[in-house]
Chains A and B, each alone.
Chain A
Amino acid sequence: MRAQPEAMSTAQDSKSEHRAQPRGIFRLLDNDIAFSFWQSKVTVLAALVTLLIVLGALLAPWIAPHDPFDLKTLSLLDAHTPPAWVRDGDLRFLLGTDDQGRDVFSTILYGLRLSLAVGLMSVAFAAVLGIALGLVAGYAGGAIDALIMRAADVQLTFPAILIALLIDGTAHALFGQYRDESTTIWVLVLSIGLSFWVQYARTVRGSTLVERNKDYVLAARLIGIGPVAILVRHILPNVIGPVLVIVTINLALAIILEATLSFLGVGLSPTEPSLGTMIRIGNNFLFAGEWWIAIFPGITLAALALSVNLLGDWLRDALNPKLR
């Protein structure tokens, strides 16, 4: 974080000497943004941790020593084993086991898959919904704009966690006992997604208001291109920039929100544990001295949230022309 301003100033110095513009994918790797990335050690570290965690989640079926969903391999005799380096530890279970004999390390890897999947899907949902509403509000103006933005204002009055809890509770009441694991995930994605769309809508609406009066939009309208095509093909590419930063920062928030909801017991079920569910289970055994069930998933969650946050911070500063 603190290394940021220094990194930015060096980036500025290097800009003065003119460089030949490389083409294609290499342009992505050779510019001020990439330069500021490599300059900041914290950012590189955060990117490494994120990469490691994402790889661990993706490769879970191959690298996890046990399959926590395969009931045949679970044995209650293995339950409550402490981590391998503690007395009574078992080398088969590096980070110990939980109350059902599931290997904590393997469960973390599988739990990460769920946490990341729910986080990514809900951010994607929020972004698509928010961008669409923001584009429409900014381009159409008038009553539609007022309606969408007032709805956004009302929602902004409440913190995301409250909105997500309310939607989850409503879904609970609506579906009642018909809930099973597959619907729980979608309810979770829906509740997290619906609590984040406002930021996207506001940002996109602001830039759309500026873009819609520019010559290229007028020209497009003049040659008879429909409003949907103008919005999607002409305006959208020009307003998408700031959205990327919100996506990164929101991803960390969404992962935390999912973990929080699961911890509160309104998220995913204990048979399919995400990181939050594991911490919830572990919390019950904290007083029995079995700290590893809650602490290791907690550390993983913290590392993930912190790294994604740092990346988001860096991206925000790197894309902010005022700081250059």
Chain B
Amino acid sequence: MLAFIIRRVIQALLVLIVVALLAFTLFRFVGDPINQMVGIETSAGERELLRAQLGLNDPVLIQFTRFVWNAAHFDFGASYQFKRPVIELIGERFSATIELSVVSALFSLVFGIPMGVYTALHRNAWLSRFFLTVSLVGISLPTFLIGILLIFAFAVSVNWLPSFGRGDVVNIGFWTTGLLTWSGVKAIILPAVTLGLFQMALIMRLVRSEMIEVLRTDYIKFARARGLPDRNVYFGHALKNTLVPVMTIAGLQLGSIIAFAIITETVFQWPGMGLLFLKAVQNADIPIMSAYLLLVALIFLSINLVVDLLYVIVDPRIRIDARAA
């Protein structure tokens, strides 16, 4: 078990170093950092001075080591557009993105799992067909289109929900939350649904196919033969066994939710990291881009690691394999 964890952590660290190399290459070699920082009227001498101060004349390996060292201390330099430290800019927006991602992940689980169970149990009911059609639409439609359609339906046609921003937020230490105010709760509904619809469809289909598969197995037949009530068979025996793959996918999807938040945040002008990253891409603001890249890689790898470990804890078969390996 310990060997398994150590191996996974080393793998994750290797990937992180590769990503850091990529981010560094971006930062150092795409465009001249000095040109981006100073105005046109800065003299060549001043430029050279700044170059030396920032250590841009040192050997590349030393620069890379310094880059990694700084990144490990969350120092990513200053943004070209805003002339402020990148980590400050990201810090202000971090909680908005995480809150949106978590709420939409919860939304997809709370609706996806029951819908999946229902469609598996009542395969020919009209409601199942309806759910499956909705899920097909959820998988096929691009996120931004879903967002626009929802805005059109709920914010333009009937003015029920706000179409942009976060509403009023409350500060709790460094964390800002919109979930404690009524306007904040109203503001998060449309973006969270937009972001979560794809995952909901995915989870529903996954639960459905796993459930159909499990219902065919012998131990379910045996449970029925013992005369257990349907509810116990379905939820106690069947659903429990479908949740292992669902947990994995849901965990991994949390990573892509954070990435897809870029689109949702743009549609709804949600003040999160995704919107910041998009503006950076549009304005070639390399420090923000490389910082975001590293941060997202870190989040993804941590999630992957946690999912792997949970998998080992939940499924005893893997535990034995891991011990043998």
CA distance A286 to B144 in the complex (A): 14
CA distance A159 to B296 in the complex (A): 11
Count of chain A residues with a beta carbon within 8 Å of a chain B beta carbon: 41
Across the interface, do A302 and B141 meet the contact criterion of CB distance under 8 Å? Answer: yes
- Interface positions, chain B 123-147, Cβ under 8 Å from A, are 129, 132, 136-137, 139-145
- Of B45-53, B242-250, B275-283, the one touching chain A: B275-283
Number of A-B contacts (CB under 8 A): 115
Is B291 interfacial (CB 8 A cutoff)? no
CA distance A125 to B142 in the complex (A): 22
Is A165 interfacial (CB 8 A cutoff)? yes
> Of the candidates A169, A173, A298, which one forms a contact with B148 in the assembled complex, judged by CB atoms under 8 Å apart?
A298
> Of the candidates A172, A176, A256, A309, which one forms a contact with B281 in the assembled complex, judged by CB atoms under 8 Å apart?
A172
- Of B97-105, B174-182, B256-264, the one touching chain A: B256-264
Is B219 interfacial (CB 8 A cutoff)? no
Across the interface, do A294 and B262 meet the contact criterion of CB distance under 8 Å? Answer: no
Note all chain B residues with C-beta closer than 8 A to A159: 255-256, 259-260
Is B151 interfacial (CB 8 A cutoff)? yes
CA distance A32 to B148 in the complex (A): 41
CA distance A291 to B156 in the complex (A): 9
CA distance A259 to B289 in the complex (A): 22
Chain A nearest Cβ from B188, distance in angstroms = 20
Note all chain B residues with C-beta closer than 8 A to A310: 136
- Interface positions, chain B 24-65, Cβ under 8 Å from A, are 26, 30-31
CA distance A69 to B237 in the complex (A): 62
- Interface positions, chain A 254-307, Cβ under 8 Å from B, are 256, 259-260, 263-266, 279, 283, 286-287, 289, 291, 294-295, 298, 301-302, 305-306
- Of B106-114, B297-305, B316-324, the one touching chain A: B297-305
Is B81 interfacial (CB 8 A cutoff)? no
CA distance A172 to B279 in the complex (A): 12
Is B13 interfacial (CB 8 A cutoff)? no
Is A158 interfacial (CB 8 A cutoff)? yes
Is A162 interfacial (CB 8 A cutoff)? yes
Is B4 interfacial (CB 8 A cutoff)? no
CA distance A301 to B141 in the complex (A): 8
> Of the candidates B30, B141, B301, which one forms a contact with A305 in the assembled complex, judged by CB atoms under 8 Å apart?
B141
Across the interface, do B284 and A294 meet the contact criterion of CB distance under 8 Å? Answer: no
Is B149 interfacial (CB 8 A cutoff)? yes
CA distance A252 to B142 in the complex (A): 10
Main secondary structure of the interface of B (DSSP, over half): helix
Is A161 interfacial (CB 8 A cutoff)? yes
Note all chain B residues with C-beta closer than 8 A to A309: 136, 139-140
Instruction: Evaluate whether A266 and B281 lie within 8 angstroms (CB atoms) in the complex, with A154-B15, A162-B296, A166-B293 already known.
Output: yes
Is B286 interfacial (CB 8 A cutoff)? yes
Is A75 interfacial (CB 8 A cutoff)? no
CA distance A305 to B142 in the complex (A): 9
Is A1 interfacial (CB 8 A cutoff)? yes
> CB-defined interface of A243-254 with B at 8 Å, one 1/0 digit per residue?
000000000100
CA distance A60 to B301 in the complex (A): 47
Across the interface, do A294 and B289 meet the contact criterion of CB distance under 8 Å? Answer: no
Is A219 interfacial (CB 8 A cutoff)? no
Across the interface, do B30 and A170 meet the contact criterion of CB distance under 8 Å? Answer: yes
Is B235 interfacial (CB 8 A cutoff)? no
> Of the candidates A165, A172, A252, A286, which one forms a contact with B277 in the assembled complex, judged by CB atoms under 8 Å apart?
A165
Note all chain B residues with C-beta closer than 8 A to A18: none
Across the interface, do A291 and B152 meet the contact criterion of CB distance under 8 Å? Answer: yes
Note all chain A residues with C-beta closer than 8 A to B259: 158-159, 161-162
Note all chain A residues with C-beta closer than 8 A to B189: none
Is B19 interfacial (CB 8 A cutoff)? yes
CA distance A1 to B284 in the complex (A): 43
Across the interface, do B26 and A170 meet the contact criterion of CB distance under 8 Å? Answer: yes
CA distance A169 to B277 in the complex (A): 10
Note all chain A residues with C-beta closer than 8 A to B140: 252, 302, 305-306, 309
Chain B nearest Cβ from A258, distance in angstroms = 10
Is A317 interfacial (CB 8 A cutoff)? no
Across the interface, do A176 and B284 meet the contact criterion of CB distance under 8 Å? Answer: yes
- Interface positions, chain A 96-117, Cβ under 8 Å from B, are none
Across the interface, do A286 and B151 meet the contact criterion of CB distance under 8 Å? Answer: yes
Chain B nearest Cβ from A89, distance in angstroms = 19
Across the interface, do B281 and A169 meet the contact criterion of CB distance under 8 Å? Answer: yes
Is A21 interfacial (CB 8 A cutoff)? no
Across the interface, do A295 and B278 meet the contact criterion of CB distance under 8 Å? Answer: no
Across the interface, do A301 and B142 meet the contact criterion of CB distance under 8 Å? Answer: yes
Is A153 interfacial (CB 8 A cutoff)? yes
Is B18 interfacial (CB 8 A cutoff)? yes
Is A182 interfacial (CB 8 A cutoff)? no
Across the interface, do A165 and B278 meet the contact criterion of CB distance under 8 Å? Answer: yes
Across the interface, do A259 and B142 meet the contact criterion of CB distance under 8 Å? Answer: yes
CA distance A169 to B262 in the complex (A): 14
Note all chain B residues with C-beta closer than 8 A to A154: 15, 18-19
Across the interface, do B30 and A298 meet the contact criterion of CB distance under 8 Å? Answer: no
Across the interface, do B137 and A306 meet the contact criterion of CB distance under 8 Å? Answer: yes
Across the interface, do B19 and A173 meet the contact criterion of CB distance under 8 Å? Answer: no
In the complex, the chain B residue whose C-beta lies closest to that of A288 is B156
Chain A nearest Cβ from B278, distance in angstroms = 6
In the complex, the chain A residue whose C-beta lies closest to that of B277 is A165
Is B266 interfacial (CB 8 A cutoff)? yes
Note all chain A residues with C-beta closer than 8 A to B289: 166, 169
Chain B nearest Cβ from A289, distance in angstroms = 7
Known pairs A174-B31, A305-B141, A306-B136; list 15 more (Cβ under 8 Å). A1-B132, A2-B129, A157-B300, A165-B278, A166-B281, A166-B293, A169-B281, A173-B31, A260-B263, A283-B148, A283-B267, A289-B156, A291-B152, A301-B142, A309-B136
Q: List the 8 closest A-B pairs by CB distance, nearest first.
A: A169-B281, A173-B284, A306-B140, A159-B259, A256-B142, A159-B256, A173-B30, A173-B31
